[in-house]
């Protein structure tokens, strides 16, 4: 089931991908031709537009009570509660911003983990940072869903 948090997560990743594709277009490193990069950007633009429309539809359906607002988490891994959780966040906008930051951080950590010029110990350290950052990313997704649910409840509750 999609939630607002999962949809925003997808959109932020597409934004990061677009940024990197545009950088490649500006300083073409030879991996792709200019026309290949332009085609990738066109496809990505279409995907972003569709996703933005899906977010808008989701918000309307949520306000009408037609979709679930949160997905029940069925965690099957050993979750570490002692490390690096997200800061207290009471604003939907702050949670979206935090998610975007974590996705950007993950992008760069994944790039770092693919390096061939470093020792395996270093890669192991980076993989640990990826695990922590991905947990924080998931925490921000959950926080978006939690805060959005509060907003929707306010909209649905009768005015006194």
Q: What is the tens place of the pLDDT at every residue in 34-64?
A: 999 999 999 999 999 999 999 999 999 998 9
Q: Which own/partner contact pairs does 100-108 have at CB distance under 8 Å and 24+ positions apart?
A: 100/12, 100/15, 102/133, 102/136, 102/137, 102/140, 103/9, 103/12, 103/13, 103/16, 103/137, 104/12, 104/16, 105/133, 106/130, 106/133, 106/134, 106/137, 107/16, 107/20
| pTM beyond 0.85 | yes
Q: What is the tens place of the pLDDT at every residue in 111-121?
A: 999 999 999 99
């Amino acid at each position: 089931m999609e939630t607002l948090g999962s949809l925003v997560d997808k959109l932020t990743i597409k934004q990061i991908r677009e940024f990197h594709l545009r950088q490649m277009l500006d300083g073409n490193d030879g991996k792709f031709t200019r026309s290949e990069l332009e085609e990738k950007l066109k496809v990505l633009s279409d995907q972003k537009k569709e996703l933005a429309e899906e977010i808008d539809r989701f918000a309307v359906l949520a306000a009408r009570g037609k979709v679930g607002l949160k997905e029940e988490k069925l965690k099957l891994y050993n979750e570490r509660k002692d490390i690096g959780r997200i800061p207290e966040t009471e604003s939907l906008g702050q949670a979206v911003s935090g998610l975007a930051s974590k996705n950007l951080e993950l992008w760069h950590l994944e790039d770092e983990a693919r390096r061939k010029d470093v020792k395996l110990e270093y890669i192991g350290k980076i993989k640990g940072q990826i695990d922590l950052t991905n947990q924080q990313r998931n925490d921000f997704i959950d926080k978006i869903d939690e805060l959005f649910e509060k907003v929707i409840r306010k909209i649905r509750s009768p005015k006194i």
